[in-house]
Chains A and B, each alone.
Chain A
Amino acid sequence: MTESLQKKFSNNAVDQPLENEPVLALEKVHYHVSSDEEVLSIIKGCDLSVQPGEKLAIVGRSGSGKSTLLALMAGLELPSEGEIRLLGQALSSLNEDERAKIRAMAVGFVFQNFQLMPSMTALENVLMPLELFQMPNAEQEARSALERVGLSNRLTHRPSELSGGEQQRVAIARAFVTRPKILFADEPTGNLDETTATQIQNLLFQLNDELKTTLVLVTHDNRLAQQCDRALSLQNGQLQA
């Protein structure tokens, strides 16, 4: 991370976790949704602790609640019961804007369907989070992030002019450009063919190692999960080793 970027984030900083304290911790987390007729439990008493720099995979079938768990861990949603601590902060004690501040400071995302802005160029897509928080040298940072993922010759291309693999590279560059402490990836290779999926997976792990980021990814791809330090399975709303 450049000095200026570090300074910007430290200004925003919430309490930093102590050394060896988990980056992410779940304690008896439940999540249920209620309809007119019934209450549906999606997450049932999950406990989890993720250490700094760890690569964790959460595997599960389609509809098992993986994306909901990811949303809870990233503070996009609050659990019905239990507590989640992200970077040392108990999320249930924070309001939406305070949770957003934590995300702004130290969280990155990669999505299955890339979530790139179709009318923006690759460079503009990567620039977006930097400009959102008025980061200095934004363009220089974005260019170097795209260079790092091997797309320095695709800066002015729009998503529709890029292949699926290239689009996911842009999304990865965008996720890493703010040097997050923890990166959440939702089925990052789900929309890609096998060869491209391997390339993306390698890129993700490589950047993760270089930048000492903690990686939490949800996938139904066992092969990808096995490459991680640890893989947990989400079955019937519970996490199992």
Chain B
Amino acid sequence: MKKTYFLELLTASKWFLRGIKRGDWVWLLLAVMIASATVTFVEKLGQTVKQSMVRQAANNLGADYVIRSSRPIDAKWQQKAQQLGLETAQAQSLITMALSNDQFQLVQLRAVSPNTPLRSQTQNYPKVSGGKQVWAEQNLVSMMGLSKDSQITLGKQTFSLAGSFQPVSSGIGMGAFAYQMVIPLSQLETTDLKGPGSRVGYELSVAGNPAAIKNFARQVEQAENPHLQTLSAQAPSQDLAKSLDTAWLFLELAALSAVMVAGLSILIASRFYLQRWQSSIALMRAFGAQRAQMSRLFAFQLSWLAVLGSGVGVLLGAGLFQLVIPVLQTYFQSLVVADSGWIYLHGFLMGFLVLWGFAWQAFRSAVQTSPLQLLKSVDSTPKMKQWLISLGLVLIVVISMTGYVFWVLLGLLMTGTVLYLAAIGLLKLVQALQSQSKGWFKLSLAALSKEPGLVKIQLVSIGLVLFVLMLMTFVRQDLMYNWQTSLPKNTPDTFLVNVQPDQKQTVIELLNSHQINAPLVPMARGRLVAVNDTPVKAKDQTSDRARRLLERESNIAVLSTLPSYNELVQQSQAESLTSEQKALLTVSVEEGMAELFGIQLNDVLTFSFTGQEKQYRVDSIRRVQWQSFRLNFFFIVQPGEQPSLPISYISNFTLSNKTISASQLTQQLAQQAPGVLLIDAKRILSQVQTIMSQASWAVTALYGFTLLASLIVLFTATMASQQTRVQSWLLLRTIGATQKEIIKIGLMEFVLLGALAGLLAAIFAQLASWGIGYFVLEIPFSFNPVLWVTSMLTGIFILLMIGWLTQKRYLRQSPRRMAQKWS
């Protein structure tokens, strides 16, 4: 039996090679190549960008993974990390006063082990040695008027300034900012700053092989030690994560549309091949081939096609990626090129799946061909089971490519169904018009309605292709524009935190003197501890995000009116409240937070503000634009009559358009309002903007793939109906139509198809633009009339060009030649 299969494989291979030489498989091969090249390229690009960003984040963090604790970290963790082959570094930090030139300054003192940081660009962070030396952040140097070898007293020890450094933005969140001084860890004891009541932060940083890091992180999480906080370069800040998500969504959708369009061309091409396959299978069945044997012989050939197409596609995708490496290098200082074998395997498998998914119907219909077909026509309608198999294979493709499976499938299904219904409507219209028209126009309408099944498929596929093209051209432009401009020019780039109530007036005056008109929002540092008397504990949370949020205090705004730039999603009705509920102060909760902890209107939340517990009733749920860089809060509580909360103020404004620089303002703040921290968010902003331009650029690259796949679809759709078309022209020529009339009739069919497909595509592109903008990107709807006109004109133009290119040799041939060619 095995020998038979082997022999069949040999025969199928021989037939496949002959087919390749003849150019039989060219359309299917191109489509498979495009599908797997797209997947390989996108995956490689995506993983490279992600890994490079993680590396960048690791550089900023100084390590791949950091454990922080307010208590000394058990030495077993360092041993475990070392056992896993990871590098380790230790640090301890505390807030203290530094004295120099008779000037006191609050600083974050970091005592670090000599190998700190494990990951960083050397110019950004000092490499400490063991002596009594201190390194100060650049801002501190200017603020305290320090110079080389300045003497700085920290606790009981005096250090000499060895150098300055500019810490890179940690990207971990605003709270992590503080002006730093760095000393060797071995010197910390000599300062005598670690008294019994002092608040010391302990850190263990690790770096090394990603798998080992993952393993280590898992062990730390499993330990469920409530005193251990972890930071990972894998999890960037909330702002970056959201922007990144949007960027990947675009990339995913662009890649998926290229793959789906390639699939569509396989679907149409396989219909075109089906007739040929059926003839040869019917013949072979008559010669005595068994059905299972035919299935194997054809499956082997299709599989060869998948192997060849996917193989070349993977190479093509990898090659294209090599071309874009120089572009990526301009974005990332330390580019980490993804080199996992899984990328190539995924690209290869996708080629396979796309081919089998979209060609399955044709394959099944072909192998079911009855030999009787040689003698008379036999009806064969594909069974529901076969459609389900096709759908299942396509589903695997979609799932493996996007996280938005439901929306993508819904979109595809709806578009396909409506296009199909529209196609039926058009055919009815064509039939009605036919009786009203005359001459060559009537004949071209007749040609269109002659084979309704095929016209429907053509209309659906061409409509879908134009839809994707319009979506990618116009909607992409629209969305990209809206998206990039969603960070307006005067996006706040500077934050002020830790403004004490008695400093409020001074700060306002200082800002006003520089024409900075910024709101000072009162806030308190607090932590959510219970929802409706049920305690919420970090260790009970299943989601990492929820755990992280509960592990540290967050900024809670204390405001009587909500910010105008927050959108109210739900609001409780005053009339339905009990007097008990009315007596409580209110809190407004951010939508994502409400979802994360299952918070609903009128729930009672308990917050702990530096040990003091207070209860609030949920009065509203808000939607917040995290990407806006405005002052946003998860919770906004109503101020009580007695201002008993430990209030400080926070503010943000745009400094880049002012005459004063960040360091000048920092200096003035230090003098007039000591303790106030100025955070320059431009670095985070520029990271976000870089990601956006990267995504925009990558989407454009993928657009090329879709365009290529679309052209193949259009050509295959034309080829699929070629025989019928030529036969009807033959008939018309035979009954005396002139060549000019044939050309008019022939081309009018393409014009009609193109116009209607263009119209349908425009409707869908406009709808999709609205849908993606509204549901995903949260940007306002914009009507684009140019899209409608362009879509229809493009439809007509492309179809006319394809019609002319593919038909001119037939349109000019004598009836005899035509008949011979298509006999």
Contacts and interface: CB of A to CB of B under 8 A. Distances in A.
Interface in B284-316: 284-292, 297
Q: Sort A-B residue pairs by CB-CB distance and give the 8 closest, nearest first.
A: A104-B288, A103-B288, A67-B375, A134-B7, A97-B290, A129-B287, A100-B288, A76-B371
22 contacts: A76-B286, A76-B375, A97-B291, A97-B292, A100-B285, A100-B289, A102-B288, A103-B288, A107-B287, A111-B375, A117-B279, A117-B283, A119-B24, A119-B276, A124-B18, A128-B280, A129-B284, A129-B287, A131-B11, A131-B14, A131-B15, A178-B287
Given A71-B375, A77-B372, A101 B290 contact: yes
Interface in A69-123: 70-71, 74, 76-77, 96-97, 100-105, 107, 109, 111, 115, 117-120
Interface in B776-823: 820-821, 823
Contacts of B148: none
A111 B374 contact: yes
A201 interface: no
B376 interface: yes
B287 A74 contact: no
A231 to B, nearest CB: 21
Interface string B357-377: 000000000000011101110
Contacts, number: 83
B22 interface: yes
A104 B283 CA distance: 12
Question: By CB atoms of chain A within 10 A, which of B19, B283, B287, B297 has the most?
Answer: B287
B290 A109 contact: no
Contacts of A96: 290-291
A78 to B, nearest CB: 11
B6 to A, nearest CB: 10
Contacts of B821: 160
B372 A76 contact: yes
Given A76-B375, A117-B280, A132 B287 contact: yes
B290 A115 contact: no
Interface residues of A, number: 34
Interface size bracket, B side: 20 to 34
Question: By CB atoms of chain B within 10 A, which of A105, A111, A128 has the most?
Answer: A128
A87 to B, nearest CB: 12
A186 interface: yes
Contacts of B14: 131
B823 A103 contact: no
Given A117-B280, A131-B11, A101 B288 contact: yes
Interface string B371-405: 11011100000000000000000000000000000
A179 B287 CA distance: 12
A132 B4 CA distance: 11
Contacts of B19: 119
B372 A105 contact: no
B306 to A, nearest CB: 20
Question: By CB atoms of chain A within 10 A, which of B22, B288, B370, B372 has the most?
Answer: B288
Given A71-B372, A76-B371, A132-B284, 6 more contacts: A67-B376, A74-B286, A104-B288, A117-B276, A129-B287, A134-B8
A160 B823 contact: yes
Question: By CB atoms of chain B within 10 A, which of A101, A118, A178 has the most?
Answer: A118
Interface of B: 7-8, 10-11, 14-15, 18-19, 22, 24, 276, 279-280, 283-292, 297, 370-372, 374-376, 820-821, 823
Nearest to B24: A119
A103 B374 contact: no
B289 A109 contact: no
A43 B375 CA distance: 16
A112 to B, nearest CB: 9
A105 B288 contact: yes
Contacts of A120: 18, 22
A103 B7 contact: no
A20 to B, nearest CB: 26
Given A119-B24, A124-B18, A134-B11, A104 B287 contact: yes
A41 B8 CA distance: 41
A90 B283 CA distance: 23
A235 to B, nearest CB: 20
A120 B277 CA distance: 12
A48 to B, nearest CB: 18
A159 to B, nearest CB: 8
A16 B235 CA distance: 77
Nearest to A104: B288
B167 to A, nearest CB: 69
Contacts of A104: 287-289
Contacts of B279: 115, 117
A62 B163 CA distance: 104
B11 to A, nearest CB: 5
A5 to B, nearest CB: 14
B372 A103 contact: no
Contact of B290 (A100, A128, A160): A100
A96 B293 CA distance: 13
Contact of A186 (B280, B284, B375): B375
Contacts of B11: 131-132, 134
A27 to B, nearest CB: 22
Contacts of A117: 276, 279-280, 283
A115 B283 contact: yes
Given A97-B291, A119-B22, A124-B18, A109 B276 contact: no
A71 B283 CA distance: 13
A117 B821 CA distance: 13
B748 to A, nearest CB: 28
A120 B19 CA distance: 8
Nearest to B10: A134
